[in-house]
Structure 1
Amino acid sequence: MTALSAEETRVLKHTLREAYMEVFPTATIETRLDVLEPNSYVAVTCSPSKGVDVTLDLSERLANKGFKVVPHLAAKMVRNKSHLHEIIARLNDLPIISIFVPGGDAEAPLGDYSTALDLLRDIAETDHKFTEIGVAAHPEGHPAVATDVLTGELRRKQEIANYLVTQMCFDADAVVSWLRSIREQGVSLPAWLGIPGVADRASLLQTSMRIGVGDSLRYLKRNPRLAARLMWSNEYRPDGLLSELAPYLADPAYDIRGHHVYCFNQVEKTEQWRHKFLEELS
């Protein structure tokens, strides 16, 4: 592991303790989250196959258990303004103050909202109690959208949103370079850096291909030690990635607020790793 200064270690420990664990709704996920502290941060995804109601149902149960829940409201899964108002009314009755608004993975929208920006604009006009609204960001680009278009969208979204979450990335240099670039182009949203949790090889590669993390896969090819470790162990751990990102966490020029852990629902493994990694940092 890269040698860190005392300040870098302190900030890394803080951001890792406060990291969001992203999960997707399944029949067993609620009990699997019992390994987390009750006030832990949990983000709940919204998939085309399950829809927004399943996300809201799980978010409600977790919030009532004491978790700090961030439901994903995928724009393509919201039918119209009336549906949006129903969603907001339901969330307003819960101890939930933060939402995350991606465009969504569906090939076609269910209704009126085809982009996150469309939905954000209508959310801004509703009577909601959210103090935090997050949007997705893509350090390695998007398979269907040009980089300059993505940056322009972030500038427009920051008129409504107040934080961004980056897509999963294995390459610290790519993340840092991208952050430096968007800051220079006027994107000031505080950043939560998306990192893989402890994941088996199959889950990691499958998700990487789905979300278009091509550069990260090429990064693995350029780094044979990491690729070999993943191939031989059948498991990825983000220790090295976090150590490489640590020097930038306290730099105000980057405005990094923390980490968003894509754990692929392998909550137990990822939480065990987090505790062990924090102990090693002490």
Structure 2
Amino acid sequence: MNAPTAAPSLSRAEATAAFLRHQSVEITPKQIEKLALLRQHLVPGCQVFIALIDPADLSAQIEATRQLAAAGFVPVPHVPARFVRDEADLRDRIRALAGAGATTMLVLGGGAAAPIGCYDASIQLLETGVFQANGVTTIGLAGHPEGNPDIAKARGEGALLEALVQKQAYLKAHGLDGFIATQFLFEAEPVADWARGLRGAGIDLPIHVGIPGPATIKTLVKYAAMCGVGNSARFIRKQALNITKLLTVNTPDDFVADLAQIHFSRPELGIAGPHLYPFGGFDKLFDWLAQTSR
């Protein structure tokens, strides 16, 4: 993931279209059935993240990785620490994912209430050295611009920042490239404030910002509740209080345009691109991209 570069003078629409060219997309293993649609709408070399929400989907994640790599995309499988039993399990899955064509992986703690094995934090996976031993060259880290209530409750408000400092230090010490991919949210300014704090703490990894694709208010409320996103989701919940708006499709036009302005006007913040979640379905997402990227 490339850091933003200084840009010529662009209109808001032009900046948005240029910013969207740095997009990445997230799918689940089962959504590999949409591969033909991905090939139709995404350029070769686009990063496609493969979430692992259920530990039982590991074999499907490996197969999705293989198919995405064969189709010319850059597969980025999630590796959640809380879904890994032990180091032998980690070695087996990283070897399999690398063998399927993944050299970039997103290493995160995972959303499970309790770990199924001996790991509960991504740094524990990194410190095994298993990734670089299997040819992985780039590690993505999870970012939480609006915090993570579970981690803050257990370890204090500063734990997330401290963890990113530690993980960045590990990557640099071992010659690994890195980036941050954030949880999804709905407003740009909290991202800018958070990024400014990271830079002040010496974290210089490029940031890809999680953006919900076009979806109904009802769908966004469901995902916001599931993922625990914070303050910027309040306006979505307020919309949901109006029953007539529940089935209204919300598009991230203003959010993406604001991020594009930050990308080009404040390159020091390292807002590198949009990471798109197709909560409302791929058809809505790609129709919106086609209209917005003109």
- Fold conserved (TM > 0.5)? yes
Q: Assess, with a 3 A threshold, how the Cα gap between structure 1 residues 160 and 169 changes in structure 2: closer, same or farther.
A: same
Shift of residue 35 of structure 1?
3.6
SS at match of 1:73: strand
**Contact preservation (8 Å) 2:28, 2:50:** yes
Residue-pair matches, total: 274
Cα distance in 2, alignment partners of residues 29 and 143 from structure 1: 34
- Name which of 157, 161, 175 aligns with 2:167: 157
Please tell me the residue identity of whatever aligns with 2:140.
G
Name whichever of 261-270 and 207-216 sits farther off.
261-270
Q: Which residue of 2 aligns with 1:261?
A: 276
Write the deviation string for residues 189-246 of structure 1: whole angstroms up to 9, x where unpaired.
Answer: 1111111111222321111111111312224467x7x997x92662121111011122
Name whichever of 9-18 and 101-110 sits farther off.
9-18
SS at match of 1:174: helix
Aligned residue runs from structure 1 range 202-213, under 5 A: 202-213=218-229
Q: Which residue of 1 aligns with 2:144?
A: 138
**Contact preservation (8 Å) 1:35, 1:271:** no
Q: Which residue of 2 aligns with 1:86?
A: 92
Cα distance in 2, alignment partners of residues 99 and 227 from structure 1: 39
- Name which of 199, 216, 233 aligns with 1:183: 199
Shift of residue 265 of structure 1?
6.7
**Structure 2 portions without partners, runs of 5+:** 1-7, 172-177
Name whichever of 30-39 and 18-27 sits farther off.
30-39
Shift of residue 269 of structure 1?
1.3
Cα distance in 2, alignment partners of residues 184 and 124 from structure 1: 31
Shift of residue 70 of structure 1?
0.8
Cα distance in 2, alignment partners of residues 195 and 157 from structure 1: 24
Is it true that 1:33 corresponds to 2:43 in the alignment? no
- Name which of 238, 255, 273 aligns with 2:288: 273
Cα distance in 2, alignment partners of residues 257 and 160 from structure 1: 21
**Contact preservation (8 Å) 2:81, 2:109:** yes
Q: Assess, with a 3 A threshold, how the Cα gap between structure 1 residues 93 and 125 changes in structure 2: closer, same or farther.
A: closer
SS at match of 1:264: coil
Q: TM-score, normalised by structure 1?
A: 0.87
Cα distance in 2, alignment partners of residues 180 and 63 from structure 1: 35
Cα distance in 1, alignment partners of residues 257 and 241 from structure 2: 18
Q: Which residue of 2 aligns with 1:231?
A: 245
Is it true that 1:23 corresponds to 2:38 in the alignment? no
Cα distance in 2, alignment partners of residues 60 and 137 from structure 1: 26
Q: Which residue of 1 aligns with 2:65?
A: 59
**Structure 1 portions without partners, runs of 5+:** none
**Contact preservation (8 Å) 1:72, 1:102:** yes
**Contact preservation (8 Å) 1:52, 1:77:** no
Q: Which residue of 1 aligns with 2:185?
A: 169
Q: Assess, with a 3 A threshold, how the Cα gap between structure 1 residues 25 and 91 changes in structure 2: closer, same or farther.
A: closer
Shift of residue 128 of structure 1?
2.4
Name whichever of 210-219 and 109-118 sits farther off.
210-219
Name whichever of 109-118 and 37-46 sits farther off.
37-46
Q: Assess, with a 3 A threshold, how the Cα gap between structure 1 residues 126 and 241 changes in structure 2: closer, same or farther.
A: closer
Residue identity over aligned pairs, in percent, reads 29
Q: Which residue of 1 aligns with 2:113?
A: 107
Is it true that 1:242 corresponds to 2:256 in the alignment? yes
Q: Which residue of 2 aligns with 1:216?
A: 232
Please tell me the residue identity of whatever aligns with 2:284.
K
**Contact preservation (8 Å) 1:151, 1:187:** no
Q: Assess, with a 3 A threshold, how the Cα gap between structure 1 residues 49 and 256 changes in structure 2: closer, same or farther.
A: same
Cα distance in 1, alignment partners of residues 67 and 131 from structure 2: 27
SS at match of 2:184: coil
**Contact preservation (8 Å) 1:20, 1:260:** yes
Q: Assess, with a 3 A threshold, how the Cα gap between structure 1 residues 128 and 160 changes in structure 2: closer, same or farther.
A: farther
Cα distance in 2, alignment partners of residues 182 and 198 from structure 1: 29
Q: TM-score, normalised by structure 2?
A: 0.83
Q: Which residue of 2 aligns with 1:76?
A: 82
Name whichever of 212-221 and 199-208 sits farther off.
212-221
Shift of residue 174 of structure 1?
0.9
Q: Which residue of 2 aligns with 1:42?
A: 48
SS at match of 2:29: coil
Shift of residue 100 of structure 1?
0.5
Shift of residue 274 of structure 1?
0.5
